Amino acid sequence: MKFAGKVWKLLVGVKDALVLIFMLLFFGALYGALSISPYRDSAREGALKLNLAGAIVEQPAPQDPLDLLGGGSATREFRLSEVIHAIDTAAGDDRIKAVALDLDIFTGGGQSAIANVGEALDRLRRSGKRVVAYANGYGDDGYQLAAHADEIWLDPLGAVVIAGPGGTNLYYAGLMERLGITANVYRVGTFKSAVEPYTRNDMSPEARAANQAVANALWETWQQDVARARPRAQLAAYVQDPARFIQAANGDMARAALQAGLVDRIGDRTDFGRRMAELAGAGNEKIPGSYQAVHLDAWIDEHPASNANGEIGILTVAGLIVDGEAALGTAGAETIVKNIERALTGNRLRALVVRVDSPGGSVMASERIRRALLEVRQRDIPVVVSFGSVAASGGYWIATAGDTIFAEPSTMTGSIGVFGVLPSFEGTLERLGVGADGVRTTPLSGEPDLLRGPSPAADQLLQLGVESTYRRFIGLVARARKLPPTRVNEIAQGRVWDGGTARQLGLVDRFGSLDDAVAEAARRAGIDPAQARPVFLEPEPGFLAWMLSGASSSESTAARDPFAGLAEQPEALIARALHDVRTLLRGPAIQARCLECPMPAPVPPVRGHESWLARLFAMVSGR
């Protein structure tokens, strides 16, 4: 027994020692995690390195921590307001000597967003600091941004490829006919072409006229922006006949861009690095082309664009507007309303700026957000609306709650119209030899019947619902814009307008950026605009996400083929088609949405609101 007792005491001692060691390791690791910065490898002075390896957006979607740990994608999303704030603060800081604008893996952003970043770069250049841009190849978005640099560098194997707005959309009527699927359409508005992909195999004349007008306006605005920033470029001649310039350069695309004045220097990344070392100081002498640089994320971490104690709230409505809750990057109505309620609870909110960058979506979700904004106004808190690159349909529905609306000339807006699409599968079942039958107690029993097709009573009810919602939409716009309903109906009809035309029509009040809207909100609240402190009305990222952000902020130097953007277009088109199908199956039945407008990335199913039909499609498609 004495021996057994000694063994037991030994085991207990070993256990206690292991527990102690584990606790020491745990608290040591916790201390290290709390004291470490994900940006520890960034310098404190030199060039501000804008390595925009991804897209500029209004509200970045959350990144999966597991993806970050596993390496993830080489691209990411950058918040527009943070990029602009970083550039503006760098302009007045002596530690920043220049800006290195790395656009090698830049995947773009809305035309208005890129113009806003370009204006920030112009302000920095006026402060006496140089901006140098580099890429293997420049497309429309990349070149619009690079045009605002003092020097544009291009890789010897690179090219400048400008395509301009426009392109091909997919139409599914023939495919749906082959599959026996019927698109039951309910709509109002001559130009409400959002339903055309499900009912036609081509674009209607009305939609073509409207879309061509918007594309022409966007293209004119793009050319004006680039011409102002880089007047020496022979842009018009190069765009109309790039082959002539390339042939004159003996087939050398980079040399052709240089001779056309589109770029200033031809060199590889090492040459670009040596140039930055001249401007900002040399880096690691053992690494060719190394220069002293402050990473963008480190600078944003030191100079946050959002002030936790700010009085000017910025409420972002970005992406597809959906019912229920949704992650950042998608405008979930309940999520946005909760953000508003949290801000009101603190009693510090003195003005609200609603930043809209959305093609619309659910009518019910749009109305839910609009009513929440009216509650804000009833508390004598001014509400200023700021449009990003897209603010259409449901996005414009929300904007009617504001005191005033700011937009950009290249903003796509309007699309004041309503539609509904319900797929039914009577043809599919017939081809499969499957019957569908049942009993009724009322004309609406089992309706809408997606197996045999909606009944005439259901069709009439849905069409009346769409028409009623459209009349309400017209009324909201008429009261908000102080226009006769008949006039609103003339400029509505689901037609999309560019920002310049929209201002002439009275759909927006003023041209201006998000900063201009913040300044106006401050003035309305009795605050000096120079002292205004904005705060993003959204939850702060968790500790784990903040720690892992260092992984996504690592500087990617992966080379990008100059024609990679063109090669990715078919893949993006297919992804868009799959997203459209999922959206059609998920609902809602009645939508205020602009399908002609640029769409956000495909969104995941909204928690608790996915239909059985969408789940069935997901199971079949393996998605």
Residues carrying an active site annotation: 192, 393
How many residues are listed for the chain in this entry? 623
Burial environment of residue 16 by CB neighbours within 10 A (0 to 12, 13 to 18, 19 or more): exposed
Q: What angle do CA 162, 168, 169 make, to 5 degrees?
A: 140
Tokens 């085991």: give the residue.
11
Q: What angle do CA 394, 605, 568 make, to 5 degrees?
A: 80
Q: CB–CB of 353/315 below 8 Å?
A: yes
Q: What is the CA radius of gyration of the chain?
A: 27
Burial environment of residue 18 by CB neighbours within 10 A (0 to 12, 13 to 18, 19 or more): exposed
SS (H, E, C) 432-486: HCCCCCCCCCCCCCCCCCCCCCCCHHHHHHHHHHHHHHHHHHHHHHHHHHCCCHH
Q: What angle do CA 126, 132, 133 make, to 5 degrees?
A: 125
Distance of alpha carbon 163 from alpha carbon 217, whole angstroms: 15
Give the DSSP H/E element, type plus range, for residue 554. Answer: none
Distance of alpha carbon 354 from alpha carbon 312, whole angstroms: 10
Give the DSSP H/E element, type plus range, for residue 558. Answer: none
> What angle, rounded to 10 degrees, do the helices at 111-126 and 205-229 form?
10
